[in-house]
């Protein structure tokens, strides 16, 4: 077994595209994904799972139909399963997502230009 820490800075250095989460680790049936995001995403929900957002750099707002939550560097929020939401970042945000393996980034929405390829490791 190889014992080696993952370095977020190194991993983000390999990530060029926006809104395209990449897997950096797995634990049981959960994946840890990093992403760079900027601008507006689409309204979507995940009917079968919660989704955890951890902001490593920047400021992220997650809009809901009845309000919003803003996360600053070092903060996290768990979006409950089934909650329709839309992430927004005025400036680039680097974040860590934790969700079950196989979860599509656009959730219940049909595949579109914002749908990222799933299960891609970096």
Report pLDDT digits (tens) over 7-28. Answer: 999 999 999 999 999 999 999 9
Alpha-helical segments (H) within the chain: 8-13
In a domain, 13, yes or no: no
Q: Residue 118's pLDDT is what?
A: 85
In a domain, 118, yes or no: no
In a domain, 84, yes or no: yes
In a domain, 67, yes or no: yes
* 122 closest CA partner among 4, 15, 8, 32: 15
In a domain, 52, yes or no: yes
In a domain, 115, yes or no: no
CA atoms within 13 A on the CB side of 37: 31
Residues in the chain: 122
Q: Which domain holds residue 53?
A: 26-100
Global pTM exceeds 0.85 = yes
In a domain, 35, yes or no: yes
In a domain, 90, yes or no: yes
Q: What is the pLDDT of residues 57-112, one digit of tens each?
A: 999 999 999 999 999 999 999 999 999 999 999 999 999 999 999 888 877 776 67
Task: Answer whether 115's CB lies under 8 Å from 49's CB.
Answer: no
The domain that holds 64 is classified in CATH as 2.60.120.10
How many domains are contained in the chain? 1
């Amino acid at each position: 077994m190889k014992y080696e820490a993952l370095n977020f800075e190194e991993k983000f250095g390999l990530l060029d595209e926006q809104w395209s989460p990449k897997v950096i680790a797995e634990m049981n049936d959960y994946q840890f994904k990093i992403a760079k995001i900027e601008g507006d995403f689409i309204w979507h929900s995940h009917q079968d799972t919660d989704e955890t957002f951890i902001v490593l750099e920047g400021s992220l707002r997650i809009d809901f139909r009845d309000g919003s939550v803003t996360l600053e560097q070092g903060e996290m929020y768990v979006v409950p399963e089934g909650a329709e939401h839309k992430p927004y970042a005025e400036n680039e945000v680097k974040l860590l997502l934790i969700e079950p393996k196989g979860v599509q980034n656009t959730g219940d929405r049909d595949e579109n230009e914002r749908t990222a390829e799933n299960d891609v490791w970096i």
